[in-house]
Amino acid sequence: MTRSRRSAADTTPPTANLGELEQLVLLSLLRLGSDAYGAAVRREIEARSGRPVALTAAYTVLDRLEAKGMVRSTVAPATGARGGMRRKHFEIRPAGERALGVAYRRIQALADGLEERLAE
């Protein structure tokens, strides 16, 4: 009984701490808007930050974020270009945006005055 309650999305506090990859994934979802799916997220992160990401890792993180209620997914029908496989689209939810904002402000607050050193 207790187990099912804990995993329910709506009980997750909106300010839950985010891991680095979670932050990057959420940021890329914000950038990609409605066009976001696993490979696009991976490419966005790699292209902008240079951090290599395994596709399976991207999906694992997206899964976890969905379980925390920060992301919503929809499955699109299969296409020929995908060899008959379906595509899973992701969208950031308000809880995700809030958590990202908290994380961003924390970083900003601590980085205040250190910008020059950190930019090197």
Partner 1 sequence: MTAARDRRSEHNGGSAAPPPRLARWLIERIAPEQHREFVLGDLTEEHAELCSTRGPLRARLACWRQVLRCLGQRLRESPPRRRGRPRRPGEPMPAIALQDLRLAVRTHLRRPGLAAAIVAILALAIGSITAIFSAIDAVILRPLPFPRPAELVAVFDQQLDEEDYPASFPEFLDWRASGELAHLAAIARIRVTLTGTGDAESLAAYRTSAELFPMLGVEPVHGRLFDSEEEAGAGPDVVLVSWSSWQRRFGGDPSIVGRSLTLDGVPRTVIGILPEGFEDVYPAAGRAALRRELWLPLELDEEGAPRGLHFLSLIGRLHPGRTLEQTAAAMGTVAQRLRDEGVSRHGIALESLQDRLAREQRPRLLILAAAVGCVLLAACANVAGLLLARSAERAGEVAVRRALGAGSARLLIQLLLEGLVLTIAALPLGVALAVITVALLRGELPAYSMAVGGRALAFTAALGVATTLLFATMPALHAARGGRSASLTAGRDRLARAPRQRLRSALVVGEIALSLVLLVAAGLFGRSLHELLRTEVGFETGQAAAFDLELPRGRSELEAIRSFYRDVLAEVAAIPGIETAGLTSELPLDGGGTNGGVPIEGRDDPPESIPVAEKRIVSPGYFSALRIPLLAGRTPSADDVDGRPSVVVVSESFARRYFEGESPLGRRLAFSWEIDGWQEIVGVVGDVKHYTLDEEPEPTVYIAFEQRPAHSLTLVARTTLPLETVYGVVRERIAAIDPTVPVARPRNLQEVVATTVDDRRLLLALVGSFAAIALVLAATGLYGLASYSTRLRTPEIGLRLALGASPGAAFRLVVAQGVQLIALGLILGLIGAWSATRLIASTLYQVSPFDPTTLIGVCSTLAAVGLAACWAPARRAVRVDPAVALRDE
Binding site for partner 1 (CB under 8 A): 32-33, 35, 37-40, 43-44, 47, 52-57, 59-60, 63, 78-83, 85-88
- Residue 49 beta carbon to partner 1: minimum distance, rounded to whole angstroms: 13
Q: Which is nearer to partner 1, 78 or 111 (CB)?
A: 78
Show the tokens assigned to 11: 């009980």
Q: Which is nearer to partner 1, 52 or 113 (CB)?
A: 52
Q: Which is nearer to partner 1, 64 or 98 (CB)?
A: 64
Q: Which is nearer to partner 1, 62 or 70 (CB)?
A: 62
- Residue 5 beta carbon to partner 1: minimum distance, rounded to whole angstroms: 20
Torsion of CA 65, 69, 71, 75, to 10 degrees: 100
Q: Residue 33, Cβ neighbours under 10 Å: how many?
A: 9
- Residue 117 beta carbon to partner 1: minimum distance, rounded to whole angstroms: 30
- Residue 25 beta carbon to partner 1: minimum distance, rounded to whole angstroms: 14
